[in-house]
Amino acid sequence: NWNMTNFVNDQIELVRRQVGNRKVLLALSGGVDSSVVAGLLLKAIGDNLVCVHVNHGLMRKGESEAVVELFKNQLKANLIYVDVTDRFLDKLENVADPEEKRKIIGGEFIRVFEEEARKLEGIDFLAQGTIYPDIVESGTKTAKMVKSHHNVGGLPEDMKFELVEPLRQLFKDEVRACGLELGLPHEMVYRQPFPGPGLGVRCLGAITRDRLEAVREADAILREEFQNAGLDKKVWQYFTVVPDFKSVGVRDNARSFEWPVIIRAVNTVDAMTATIETVDWPILMKITDRILKEVKNVNRVCYDMSPKPNATIEWE
Ligand code: XMP
C-alpha cells in the first residue's frame, strides 16, 4: 500500500540500486524541493552525495547560513558552500531590465555550478528536485510566457550526467510530507516559494548594494512579524520590494530623501492568478514602524493592493 514511509524506503532502495557506490551532485538552493532531495539522498548514499550551495548574494537574510547549519553542521552532509556575491553584483551593475537581470543571474548560476562540478572528480550523477508538475508542464505555460524562470539544467554538452530525480512522482504537498517523513524541520518544509533570481527581482531596476540591503532587512522584519502573527502559516507568499526612486520625508526635523519599501502578501493556488491578503492594520502598522526605525535609507512603507492579474506576484 502507498504511504509516505513506504515511498521513502522504496526511493532509498531505488537510488542505491541506481547509483551504487558512485557520486551524485546536487545544487542545494535551500528551497523545498532541493532540500527534500538532499534529505532523501543523504539517507540513501550519505557521503556519496555532494551538495553545492551557491550564494549569489541575492538570498534572504540568514538563508545561506541556515542551509549550511542544517545540512553541513547538523546532518553532516558533504556540502560545498560557494559565496559568489561580488561576482554576481559586478555582473548586474547598471543592468535595469528585469529579463536581462534574470538572464544574467540564471546564466551565471549555471556557470558557477559548472565550475564547481569540474573541480570535483568522478561524479556520474546529477540529482534534481524535479516534481510531477514540472514534468506535466500544464498550467505553467502562461507564467513562462510572462517571465522566464530558471532551474539548473543548462549544463554544457560535455558534462553528461545521469539524472537522479526521486521526487518526480510527487505533487508539492507530497514533497512536503516526504520532507517531514525524512525528519527535516517544519520551517524548511513549509517555506514559502522564493524565486531563483531571489532578491534580485525585488530590488527594482539596476541593483545597488545599499538598496539590496534595504530589501533584505525589510524582508527579514516582514517575515518575523508575519511569524509572530501566525500569518506565515496562512499566506502563500509575502515579501518586500524596494523601487529605484526616492521620495521626500522628514527625519530628525530635517528633510530626508529616501526609498520606499513596498509590502506584498498574496494567496494563490497555482500562481497563475493571485489575490492579496487583507492583513490587519495593526500588524501592518507594527511592520511599518519597525521598517522605518530599523532599515537604513527608507522613509516610507506602502502596501501593494493589486491582484494578479493585472499585476503579477513579483514586481519584475
Ligand atoms: P509572477 O511574478 O510571474 O510569479 O506572478 C509567479 C510565481 O513565480 C515566482 N517567480 C519566479 N520563480 N524564477 C523563479 O524560480 C523566476 O524568475 C521567477 N519569477 C517569478 C514568483 O515568486 C511567484 O511565486
Residue 146: per-residue pLDDT: 79
267: Cβ below 6 Å to ligand 1?
A: no
| Assigned domain for 316 exists | no
175 and 239 share one domain: no
pTM of the predicted model over 0.80: yes
Residue 151: per-residue pLDDT: 58
Q: Which residue CA neighbors atom 17 of ligand 1 most closely?
A: 149
312: Cβ below 6 Å to ligand 1?
A: yes
Q: How far is the CA of 272 from the centre of ligand 1 (A)?
A: 10
Whether complex ipTM tops 0.95: yes
For residue 108, what is its C-alpha cell?
Answer: 551565471
Structural domain that includes position 37: 4-189
Residue 158: per-residue pLDDT: 86
29 and 143 share one domain: yes
The count of structural domains within the chain is: 2
Choose the final residue of a domain: 162, 189, 216. Answer: 189
Q: Which residue CA neighbors atom 10 of ligand 1 most closely?
A: 195
Q: Which of 102, 313, 315, 316 for a ligand 1 pocket mutation test, highest count of atoms within 8 Å of Cβ? A: 313
The CA distance from 314 to 147, in Å, is: 10
Owner of C-alpha cell 533584505: 216
| Assigned domain for 312 exists | no
| Assigned domain for 196 exists | no
Choose the final residue of a domain: 189, 223, 257. Answer: 189
62 and 176 share one domain: yes
Q: How far is the CA of 314 from the centre of ligand 1 (A)?
A: 6
| Stretch (H or E) spanning 44 | helix 32-45
Q: Pick out the chain residues at pLDDT < 70.
A: 137-145, 149-153
Residue 149: per-residue pLDDT: 66
Instruction: Classify residue 304 by burial, with Cβ atoms within 10 Å: 0-12, 13-18, 19+.
Output: middle
Q: How far is the CA of 44 from the centre of ligand 1 (A)?
A: 32
35 and 121 share one domain: yes
Find the CATH number of the domain harbouring 215: 3.30.300.10
251 and 281 share one domain: yes
149 and 261 share one domain: no
53, 82 Cβ separation under 8 angstroms:
yes
151 and 221 share one domain: no
Is 37 one of the annotated binding-site residues?
Answer: no
167 and 117 share one domain: yes
The CA distance from 302 to 38, in Å, is: 38
Choose the final residue of a domain: 147, 165, 189. Answer: 189
72 and 148 share one domain: yes
Is 148 one of the annotated binding-site residues?
Answer: no
Q: Which residue CA neighbors atom 11 of ligand 1 most closely?
A: 195
44 and 77 share one domain: yes
| Assigned domain for 51 exists | yes
The CA distance from 66 to 294, in Å, is: 23
129 and 178 share one domain: yes
228-253 b/e (C-beta count within 10 Å ≥ 16 → b) = ebebbeebbbbbbbbbeeeeeeeeee
242 and 178 share one domain: no
Residue 89: per-residue pLDDT: 98
Residue 85: per-residue pLDDT: 98
| Assigned domain for 259 exists | yes
193: Cβ below 6 Å to ligand 1?
A: yes
